[in-house]
Structure 1
Amino acid sequence: MATTPRTEPAAAAPPGPSAERLPDFAGVDVGVLAARTDHAVLGEVAALLLRNWPSPEDAVAYYEDGPEKLLR
């Protein structure tokens, strides 16, 4: 009885970061977006963002929160 050699798919390289730059949505007014969207998921996400949005006085970023910490 002859055996047929088994062929395995070639291992793909692990995904890495894309060279494509992400769009800048810094100027988007989330409140207006939440009020004007008819998309159920987008509306829920916008509402969640607004519920958790800190006031300008409370918004801070720490160096320790940067992505470099996760990579080490």
Structure 2
Amino acid sequence: MATTPRTERAAAAPSGPSAEPLPDFAGVDVRLLAARTDHAVLGEVATLLLRNWPTGDEAVAYYEDGPGKLLR
């Protein structure tokens, strides 16, 4: 009985989180982006963000959300 060598690729191990920090988009003007983009998906996402954006009176932050708080 002859054996045929396997040629399929070995399954890659699942990747973990990247060490690279995410870009900071805090300064993006979402209203301007929604008004000026011609990309269908980006425009829809910006519109949904604006529709669900809380006003200054509705926005809240919790102590647990702060950068100095380590959750275990």
TM-score (norm 1): 0.70
Identity of aligned residues (%): 79
| Richer in helix (by share) | 1
Greater alpha carbon shift after TM alignment, 21-30 vs 5-14 = 5-14
CA RMSD of aligned residues (A): 2.5
Partner of 1:12: 12
- 1:4-25, Cα deviation, whole Å (9 max, x unpaired): 4657743422211111111111
Which residue is 1:54 aligned to?
A: 54
Q: Secondary structure at the match of 1:57?
A: coil
Which residue matches 1:27?
A: 27
Is there any run of 5+ residues in structure 2 with no aligned partner, and where?
none
**TM-score if structure 2 supplies the norm length?**
0.70
* Alignment length (residue pairs): 67
Where in structure 1 are there 5+ consecutive unaligned residues? Answer: none
